[in-house]
Amino acid sequence: MKTIFKSSAIIITLMLIALSCNNSEPFPKEWKDEYKAECVKEASVSLSNKQAVEFCNCTLEKIIKDYSSGKVADEVISGWTEERTIEYVMPCIENIQF
């Protein structure tokens, strides 16, 4: 379980840094598609593919709900500590069917 938490922290931070996008749409389809693809790839190291998809969809929904744009999310989340990232994704981890 601890491995999942560490992986989650790394996944979210790296994904958001990598997906900065110059687009007038707050969360462009390209941004969301890249986020999901990379997130599932990284999360599948610790989770089954089905669990990784579930986790990544949940984290994406949280990010869209909590931030005004992908750019804002990138800026805020890239400064988070591992502990803050784990705290943020914990509801998504708790909802995964193990």
Res. 2: pLDDT tops 60:
no
Number of separate domains in the chain:
1
The Cα 16–Cα 27 span in angstroms is: 12
Q: Is 58 among the domain residues?
A: yes
Domain that includes residue 7, residue range:
2-16+36-94
Q: Is 83 among the domain residues?
A: yes
Specify burial of residue 98 (Cβ count, 10 A radius: 0-12, 13-18, 19+): exposed
What are the C-alpha distances in Å from 35 to residues 1, 2, 20, 98?
23, 23, 10, 23
Res. 9: pLDDT tops 80:
no
Q: Is 25 among the domain residues?
A: no
What does the mean pLDDT of the chain come to?
86
Radius of gyration of the chain measured on its C-alpha atoms: 12
Q: Is 72 among the domain residues?
A: yes
Q: Is 10 among the domain residues?
A: yes
Question: For 45-70, what is each residue's pLDDT tens digit?
Answer: 999 999 999 999 999 999 999 999 99
pTM: predicted TM-score of the whole model, two decimal places: 0.76
